[in-house]
Amino acid sequence: MAPSKRKKATNSASQAAVADAPMETASGKETAEEEELKCPGCSENDSPDQNKDTWICCDACKTWYHWGKCAGIDQDANSGEAVTLEQVDKWFCKSCTELDPSRVMTFKPPPRKSGRKKIEASSNTDTPMVDATQPVEGAASVSATGPGSSATPAPAGNGTLEVNKWIAIAESKKYAPDNFRRMNGSDIGLEWILRDESAMKEPIVVENPEGLGMKMPAKETTVRDIANEIGPDTHVEVIDVLSQSNSPGWTLGKWADYYHSPSHERDRIRNVISLEVSGTPLGQRILPPRLVRELDWVEKHWPHNKKQLGHYPKVQLYCLMSVSQCWTDWHIDFAGSSVYYHILHGSKVFYFIKPTSANLAAYEHWIGTDIQNHTWLGDMVDEVVRVELTAGNTMIIPTGWIHAVYTPGDTLVFGGNFLHSLNMKTQLRVRDIEIRTKVPKKFRFPLFTKLCWYVGERYCRDLKSKEEFSPRILKSLDALAGFLVSEARTIERGSEVAKKEARENVPADRVKDASLLARELRWRVRSAAGVDSDVELGGDDDDIIVPIKRDPNAPRDAGRKRRRDDTSGPLFKNWQRPEWSSVENTPLRESHDTLRVEEDAQGDAAWISQAGVKGDVMRSSKSNGTTKFRKLEHGAIERYSVVRTMEYITPSGNAESLKKEPL
């Protein structure tokens, strides 16, 4: 569920932050991230009618401004014509242009005209349409209806068909078989996770909610009921599906009027996918599935007193209200979080891509460049799976799955997001993709780093008290510990700005020494896994055996360690141990003498006796070595010495005439 409240002209990735599954940020007004998003151009004298929902980012200082007056853009200085956000390629704020006059606003090239036949669209349509009767990308034919629907699409206000091009393209493609599990609600719980190694690695569908341990509003609940219960004057973020951008000025009362209007009276196709209902009367009647509550980090590890005050990541209860023909393009839920998704009435069609390394790389390239405007992501990956959901179905989507969503008919959905301890490695990888593609903090998982500190502190206490965990969870905790160590390093040696941000993310009520906690957690996780503390635990596909049930009398290293690489790199990223101050090589020394080896010889001669050699023998030895030292921090000195000795033992041919030295 992605709020598309701001639209960035310089980065198409921010426009792609729209999601149909419950994914995007909660209201989050109390979070530090939103405090950073105040517009520097706003003043107390601004008109209340001024557009505050559309934003633009300076390409130099990365500061966000409201589009229009705050950004100082009303018209093109050369032509005098009004400028729209969609025309802008690069834009710089006034402060940056004063520092460097060469920084000027540039525009995107005009769209290339196509000779293909297009549907005649209504006058306010600004997205290219696809002729529903013509082939699309080699398909034999494309129906005017969306996947899984036999009804006629909703016409625009002037009576012509308004079909999103991606719906037509999606229907023309071939898909891998839908082999995702259909399970009974009573079979889905923590016991299933512990018993089945493949649990929560692929989406699962529960066709009947009985046994899931969740509560949902009555099937008869309407959008009008929701508006009246929460408040008809409550602001709601509405997405214009064809432009995938925010449509400002909507309240729940106005949205209910639109949703319940006949399809032929709707001027545009619109969608609500980010209404977070925690703390409302409606939210009190919703309870996520039992498995979600058993895994959810916010539910398990966020302090209860802070939740009561309303200060926590509000991503657990979303209401999605989609009209017929809605489409949400490819996306991953923020921070790779998992999703539960229950259809109260209506239907949805999901298109899934597995989060393999190759597919995530393809997604990052697609989301971070303009190819997303004209390329079907499914053509860049190995396979896509199509799944249809109908009223009463519940789906659980695991970590990092890439998906797009189509709505054949008016649909009401309840769902939510949750982070867990089964696949932290992928959750962190998706977060890294968000950072590299410059997704604004407003559209990321709220309070993510602080939540990780709470989780790390709890698991460190559990490991200290000898609680045992499965290999899968230990691998995930190793990734979490690595992330917290990197945060601790930022606090220790980062820039002043980075240090300040990293410190603010550490919950002082639970974590007194962030550096100590992060490194202790990493040591305890790897110790529990029975591997060297310098060895990272493998990912989901690595073959590593971790001893779970330990014999108290068994040695600590019982079990099989993961093979170490022949070449061991530095312990920490971008850090190397100091160079050796001095290296000395001891020259080769040789010696020869005669020994008498007794039957029960001890000491240096014990190995000769054990080899079955006794009596007078001649010993020849060669030795050399290396000694080096270096200075460390705080005045410490480290010395490293290696001596290599080789001995040859031969029976003496003339022992009586040689000097004897019994050993």
Q: Is the pLDDT of residue 632 over 60?
A: yes
49 pLDDT band (50/70/90 cuts)?
A: low
Comparing 136-150, 196-210, 265-279, the range with the smallest average pLDDT is 136-150
In this prediction, residues 137-141 reach a mean pLDDT of: 30
Same domain for 570 and 595, yes or no, is: no
Rounded mean pLDDT of 260-281?
A: 91
- What's the whole-number average pLDDT of the chain? 79
Q: Is residue 150 part of a domain?
A: no
**Of 646, 652, 651, which Cα lies nearest the Cα of 612?**
651
With respect to residue 360, please indicate whether it lies within any of the assigned structural domains: no
606: helix, strand or coil: helix
- Angstrom distance (rounded) from CA 648 to CA 593: 11
* Residue range 541-556, pLDDT digits in tens: 433 334 434 454 555 4
Last residue of a domain, one of 576, 611, 643: 576
pLDDT tens, residue by residue, 362-377: 999 999 888 988 899 9
Token pair of 605 as six digits: 């001669």
SS3 category, 351: strand
Average pLDDT over residues 351-364: 96
Residue at a domain's end among 512, 547, 576: 576
Give the torsion sign (CA, 194, 200, 203, 208): positive
Rounded distance, CA 329 to CA 272, Å?
14
221 pLDDT higher than 60: yes
Is 534 found in the same domain as 495? yes
Q: Quote the tokens at residue 26.
A: 């909660």
Q: pLDDT tens for residues 93-137?
A: 888 888 888 788 887 766 544 333 333 333 333 333 333 323 333
| Cβ pair 403, 350 in contact under 8 A | yes
| Cα 391 to Cα 412: distance, rounded to the nearest angstrom | 9
Residue 404 contacts residue 387 (beta carbons within 8 Å): no
Residue 625 in domain? yes
What percentage of residues in the chain have a pLDDT greater than 70? 74
Together in a domain, 601 and 524: no
- Report the alpha-carbon distance of residue 238 to residue 240 in Å, rounded: 7
Look at residue 643 and tell me if it is in a domain.
yes
Model confidence at 570, pLDDT cuts 50, 70, 90, reads very low
477/542 same-domain check: yes
19 pLDDT more than 70 = no
Examine the pLDDT at 473 and tell me if it is beyond 90. Answer: yes
pLDDT at residue number 307:
87
- 3-state secondary structure (DSSP) of residue 287: strand
Give the strand order in the sheet containing 181-182.
181-182, 204-206, 394-397, 338-345, 411-418, 318-322, 270-276, 238-240, 245-247
Q: Which residues of 1-35 are buried (b: 16+ CB within 10 A; e: fewer)?
A: bbbbbbbbbbbbbbbbbbbbbbbbbbbbeebebee
Say if residue 481 is in the same domain as residue 560. yes
Reported as a single tens digit per residue, the pLDDT across 26-46 is 344 444 444 445 788 887 776
Residue 653 has pLDDT above 60, yes or no: no
Do 546 and 458 share a structural domain? Answer: yes
Provide the angle, in degrees to the nearest 10, between the axes of the packed helices 448-464 and 514-528. 50
Q: Does residue 499 sit in the same domain as residue 556? A: yes
Q: What is the mean pLDDT of residues 205-210?
A: 94
Q: Let me know if residue 477 belongs to a domain.
A: yes
Answer whether 230's CB lies under 8 Å from 281's CB. Answer: yes
Q: Which one is predicted more confidently, 342 or 120?
A: 342
522 has a pLDDT exceeding 50: yes
Name the domain boundary from 518, 550, 576.
576
Q: Mark whether 464 and 557 lie in a shared domain.
A: yes
Residue 4 reports pLDDT greater than 90: no
Is 333:339 a contact under the CB 8 Å cutoff? yes
Say if residue 164's pLDDT is above 80: no
Distances in Å between the alpha carbon of 570 and those of 323, 487, 516? 54, 18, 20
Which residue type, as a one-letter code, is found at position 473? I
User: Token digits for 504?
Assistant: 């603010």
Quick check: helix, strand or coil at residue 340? strand
Q: What residues contact 355, with CB distance under 8 A and at least 6 apart?
A: 332, 336, 399, 400, 401, 402, 426, 430
Q: pLDDT digit string (tens) for 474-517?
A: 999 999 999 999 999 999 998 999 999 999 999 999 999 999 99
* Residue 223 confidence (pLDDT) above 50: yes
> Is 603 inside any structural domain?
yes
Token output for 654: 């003339």
Percent of the chain with pLDDT over 90: 48
Distance CA 439, CA 436 (A): 8
**What integer pLDDT is reported at residue 52 of this predicted model?**
63
* CA-wise closest residue to 59 among 48, 50, 75, 71: 71
Tell me: do 626 and 509 sit in the same domain: no
Report yes or no on 204 lying in a domain: no
Is the pTM higher than 0.75? The answer reads: no
Distance of alpha carbon 223 from alpha carbon 254, whole angstroms: 11
Record the tokens describing residue 478, joined without a space.
């190793």
Using 50, 70 and 90 to split pLDDT, how confident is the model at 434?
Answer: very high
In the chain, the number of structural domains is 2
What pLDDT score was predicted for residue 555? 53
Confidence of residue 310 (pLDDT cuts 50, 70, 90): confident
Confidence of residue 152 (pLDDT cuts 50, 70, 90): very low
Pairing of strands 402-407, 411-418: unpaired
pLDDT band, residue 647 (cuts 50/70/90): confident
Same domain, 535 and 562: yes
Per-residue pLDDT band at 572 (split at 50, 70, 90): low
Residue 558 belongs to domain spanning: 448-576
Most distant CA pair in the chain, distance: 121
Going by their DSSP bridges, the two strands 204-206 and 181-182 should be labelled as parallel
What SS3 state is found at 141?
Answer: coil
Between 327 and 575, name the one with better pLDDT: 327
The H or E element containing residue 190 is helix 190-195
pLDDT tens digits, residue range 575-601?
566 778 888 888 888 888 888 888 777
pLDDT: which is higher, 132 or 215: 215
> In terms of pLDDT, which residue wins out, 559 or 251?
251
In a domain, 244, yes or no: no
> Are 462 and 456 contacting, i.e. CB atoms less than 8 angstroms apart?
no
Judge if 492 and 593 occupy the same domain: no
State the DSSP H helix or E strand holding residue 206, giving kind and residue range, or none if neither. Answer: strand 204-206
Instruction: Give the pLDDT score at 391.
Output: 96
Mapping DSSP onto H, E and C, the string for 297-309 reads HHHHHCCHHHHHC
SS3 57: strand
More confident residue, 650 or 417: 417
Give 240-260 pLDDT, tens digit per residue.
888 777 888 899 999 999 999
**Are residues 555 and 469 part of one domain?**
yes
Q: Which residue, among 469, 464, 382, 466, has the nearest Cα to 424 in the 3D structure? A: 469
Question: Token pair of 113, please?
Answer: 């005209």
